[in-house]
Amino acid sequence: MSGHSYTHRDLARALGVSETTIKSYRSKFPTFLPVARQGKPVRLHPEALDVCRRIRDLFADGLSILQTSQRLIAEFKEYPLNRRLSTPTQPLREAPQAEPAAQAPDALSTRIETLTQAQDLSRLRMEQLELEVRNLATMEAASKALITELLTELRAANARQTKQAVAPEAPQTPPAAPAPEPGPTVLTARKIVTVHGPTGPVASYALGREPKPAPEFPEPHAPPPAFLELPAVIRSDRGDFLGLPGGQSVRRLVDVLSPEGAPQAAWFQETADSWTCAIPLGRAQNREMLFERTTTPRGNLVGLIRRMRINETEATPTQLQEIFRQLRDQLA
């Protein structure tokens, strides 16, 4: 390695990169890497080692060519393109004028550097395209999984409706008019007399009615039918009310989202106009939806889905709108 100038190979060995990389640095930033001496091999000024080291570090930090050039302008001296420099101790003699035939190798070297730079750019673009393709594949797989789940729930709901439609209806007989009673009662046995006979005392009992005791646990309750028949809607980002095709009701939406064979959904009243529906999904999983009775700007009563939680995880407005959009597409 010369004490006053460097070849491409010298710089490559000192920085641990390839000669092609050094040539690409020279092609991208020619004013900071002046030629100290023409010939075979080409020798660069001693300052080229610090410049190339700085370019390597800036590229490693992810800076672009323009950003790297701005850093170099602030840190190093910029020379006119193809200007030959001299050292303080020994001036560099200008290379003799090359003959036209001798200029062919330099032109070929320049073309090779240009092709190398184009190859590097193509490789970077291919890597970016490959990354975008992988991201698209991941998003497609997630969308297919969500659509499959919604289709399964929809088919199960349609199967239940079909079974209910084809099941024979039992003949209905007019119920007998119940006798008026002051309140709920239960049938009990009550002792009324004891007779002493030859074999001993004989107890006699008569049937009677007593007030029915209060249940140990209150029975679960559900919203009134008028609430369940409200059209199920959500609010969009712009505040519009979005419903299901055909104005599907709150009851219909709960049936579609309830898996076949799972326990019945439970309702819990929050306020006078809002109810929470807990839909079991199996394997200790559930979906909770808060419905609120409200009025649209056009004066229509609807059941607005205020929020949705799946396994105690709150769904974002974007996720809620995406699930609702999938349901609209399947029920259309």
100 in a domain, yes or no?
A: no
Give the separation between CA 223 and CA 277, rounded to whole angstroms: 10
Cβ atoms 30, 72 nearer than 8 A: no
Q: Total structural domains in the chain?
A: 2
31 in a domain, yes or no?
A: yes
Cβ atoms 291, 304 nearer than 8 A: yes
Domain of 325 in residue numbering reads as 225-331
Question: Tokens representing 128?
Answer: 């970016």
Question: Tokens representing 142?
Answer: 């997630």
Which of the listed residues 31, 57, 85 is the one where a domain comes to its end?
Answer: 85
Which of the listed residues 35, 59, 85 is the one where a domain comes to its end?
Answer: 85
260 in a domain, yes or no?
A: yes
Q: Please give the DSSP secondary-structure letter assigned to residue 81.
A: T
Give the separation between CA 120 and CA 238, rounded to whole angstroms: 46
Question: Which strand (E) or helix (H) includes residue 278?
Answer: strand 274-282
272 in a domain, yes or no?
A: yes
Give pLDDT < 50 ranges for the chain.
1-2, 83-103
For residue 210, what pLDDT is reported?
66
Q: What is the pTM of this model?
A: 0.36
176 in a domain, yes or no?
A: no
Taking CA 281 as the corner, what is the angle to CA 277 and CA 286, rounded to the nearest 5 degrees?
A: 50
Beta-carbon neighbour count of residue 276 at 10 Å?
A: 16
pLDDT digits (tens, 9 = 90+) for 215-226: 555 556 789 999
303 in a domain, yes or no?
A: yes
Give the separation between CA 36 and CA 51, rounded to whole angstroms: 14
For residue 92, what pLDDT is reported?
38
CATH code of residue 62:
1.10.1660.10
Which of the listed residues 85, 110, 136 is the one where a domain comes to its end?
Answer: 85
Residue 183: phi, psi to the nearest 5? 180, 175
103 in a domain, yes or no?
A: no
SS3 of residue 18 by DSSP: coil
215 in a domain, yes or no?
A: no
Taking CA 222 as the corner, what is the angle to CA 216 and CA 225, rounded to the nearest 5 degrees?
A: 145
